[in-house]
Homo-oligomer: A and B are copies of this chain.
Amino acid sequence: MKRERIFLFDTTLRDGQQTPGVDFSVEDKIAIAAMLDDFGIDYVEGGYPGANPTDTAFFAKRRTRNARFVAFGMTKRTGVSAANDPGLAGLLQSASDTICLVAKSWDYHVAVALGCTNAENLDNIAASVEAVVISGREAMVDCEHFFDGYKANPDYALACARAAYDAGARWIVLCDTNGGTQPQEILTIVTAVVAAGIPGDRLGIHAHNDTGQAVANSLAAVEAGVRQIQGTLNGIGERCGNANLVTLIPTLALKEVYASRFETAIDTDRLQELTKLSHAFDELLNRSPDHQMPYVGASAFATKAGIHASALLKDPRTYEHVTPESVGNLRKVMVSDQGGKANFINALKRRGIVVGKDDPRLDRLISIVKEREATGYAYEGADASFAILARRTLGHVPDFFHVESFRVMVERRFDANGQLKTVSEAVVRVLIDGEETLSVAEGHGPVNALDLALRKDLGKYQHEIADLELADYKVRILNGGTEAITRVLIESTDATGARWWTVGVSDNIIDASFQALMDSIVFKLLKNRDGAVAAAAE
């Protein structure tokens, strides 16, 4: 049976730009458009030329090679002709293949937000689409508030969609702008639109995640006939975000109920780049990836020791809804206090350490890990500390350097000018090859001061840690009260882009931080020497 084509439309650069906390530069937009284009997305919506200097600059030239490059904007205003509307003129001057016009399709909004009559709004839609078509570009129309509009006045919502269709729009996109529509309502309303004479292969869906169902709403619309899905990378977007293309793409490709009937431009090979795409985008946004994101999250194929772990090892496929390889992700059976021997052997193998299951050193490692986890260490979240501990127990880690002592001081007092001032200072005494160095540093707080002092002078290793950076720092108090145990997790990075986590535990937060900082430096030095360590940290 011939499978029907579903077109993927990415609005990361337009609706995604509305995400609180996200603000793309022109360079960001160029980089993201290239990622999307390379991955095989059909349409890349770049923004709203004319609305702000960034988007205008971004549309100075075409930014995609294969994907259709889409400019977003408003339909013409009431009272001016399409030829004389400055907004529309800006769109037509942009270096775009496709122009996506947003049109009100809820009569209440036509009155309140546009202040024109229902008939004028229909005229504006038709005239604007015609102007785009005449310019030789592909026209599409985002019917804003379509579902809420349909519930309030179905005839008028349909009339808006029909005005766009009759005027020659390639796509009429039904938008759940406020994000509150339920999947069954989407199914019913889209079915009615198709029944009213607009074919499904001319319809798109634009869903928001305000009830956590943007993916389900998109799929319900496909079920009812639409053949274009709008979404964003990692589901960013206004309020709770848009439909997550990173979830939708593998679902369409790997779930038999869709794959048997539909196809997208994303083939099996590209799908294996999905995890990389998702993480690269987070990297660009400078935020930590969501570990629980479907398909691509670090936990998406992770199993903690428990009722499933041993069965998982017998036959992984029966505990996984798709294979991690199909989306470029990895299976993880986690080291933790309930982990069995097989879990450990696998965890070590992934870190390039091969050990026989009858090796007595393995038993020793397991008992050390269990003992430490009982006192608060969390190796599950600190791969690099686990790797160091395993190498120390099973083989050898060089004593690169030795910290003989440190002292950290925080003082808050009034300075000479009567200003309240807090100063943090750390002094570290390090021994390298029999030679002692004393380093001192001031920092934003005691841990920062200690970090800076520790990395100030490591003698012959100093050039090796020049690119080491502390990327994240987490503190967890494991039990309340005055004798609280503190767990510190530190994430480090270096110029290769590798990231690794280390852990420290103590009733003293400075001491816990010191342990994690030490492990981070030792791991960096190990990694510089051993390809297997480096590979495991990628």
Binding site for B on A (CB under 8 A): 18-21, 23, 25, 27, 52, 74, 102, 106, 108-109, 112-113, 148, 177-185, 209-213, 215-216, 219-220, 223, 235-236, 238-241, 244, 247, 251, 255, 257-258, 286, 291-295, 297-304, 306-308, 311, 314-315, 318-322, 332, 334, 338, 378, 380-381, 404-414, 422, 424, 443-448, 451-452, 469-484, 486, 491, 506-511, 514
Contacts of A236 in B (CB 8 A): 292
Contacts of A299 in B (CB 8 A): 19-21, 239-240
A231 to chain B, nearest CB (A): 11
C-alpha gap A394/B497 in the complex (Å): 51
Contacts of A239 in B (CB 8 A): 292, 297, 299-303
Known: A20-B304, A422-B506. A473 touches B477 (CB 8 A): yes
The list of the 3 closest CB pairs from A to B, nearest first, reads A180-B321, A216-B216, A405-B413
Contacts of A404 in B (CB 8 A): 413-414
Question: Is the beta-carbon distance between A109 and B318 smaller than 8 angstroms?
Answer: yes
A248 to chain B, nearest CB (A): 8
A170 to chain B, nearest CB (A): 23
The listed residue (B18, B381, B407) touching A304 by CB distance below 8 A is B18
C-alpha gap A213/B258 in the complex (Å): 15
Nearest-neighbor residue (CB-CB) of A72 within chain B: B307
A153 to chain B, nearest CB (A): 13
Question: Is the beta-carbon distance between B211 and A213 smaller than 8 angstroms?
Answer: no
Known: A292-B241, A314-B112. A491 touches B480 (CB 8 A): yes
Nearest-neighbor residue (CB-CB) of A447 within chain B: B509
A193 to chain B, nearest CB (A): 18
Contacts of A240 in B (CB 8 A): 292-294, 297, 299-300
C-alpha gap A112/B310 in the complex (Å): 11
The listed residue (B209, B405, B482) touching A414 by CB distance below 8 A is B405
Contacts of A102 in B (CB 8 A): 307
C-alpha gap A405/B452 in the complex (Å): 25
Question: Could you jot down 17 A-B contacts, CB within 8 Å?
Answer: A25-B478, A27-B479, A27-B480, A112-B315, A209-B294, A211-B215, A239-B297, A240-B292, A240-B293, A410-B446, A410-B511, A412-B511, A412-B514, A422-B510, A445-B484, A445-B506, A470-B482
Contacts of A183 in B (CB 8 A): 183, 216, 219-220
Given A239-B300, A412-B510, 12 more A-B residue pairs with CB atoms under 8 Å apart are A20-B381, A182-B258, A209-B292, A404-B413, A405-B412, A408-B409, A412-B511, A444-B508, A448-B483, A448-B484, A451-B482, A472-B481
Question: Is the beta-carbon distance between A318 and B472 smaller than 8 angstroms?
Answer: no
Contacts of A27 in B (CB 8 A): 479-480
The listed residue (B21, B108, B213) touching A380 by CB distance below 8 A is B21
A350 to chain B, nearest CB (A): 15
A172 to chain B, nearest CB (A): 19
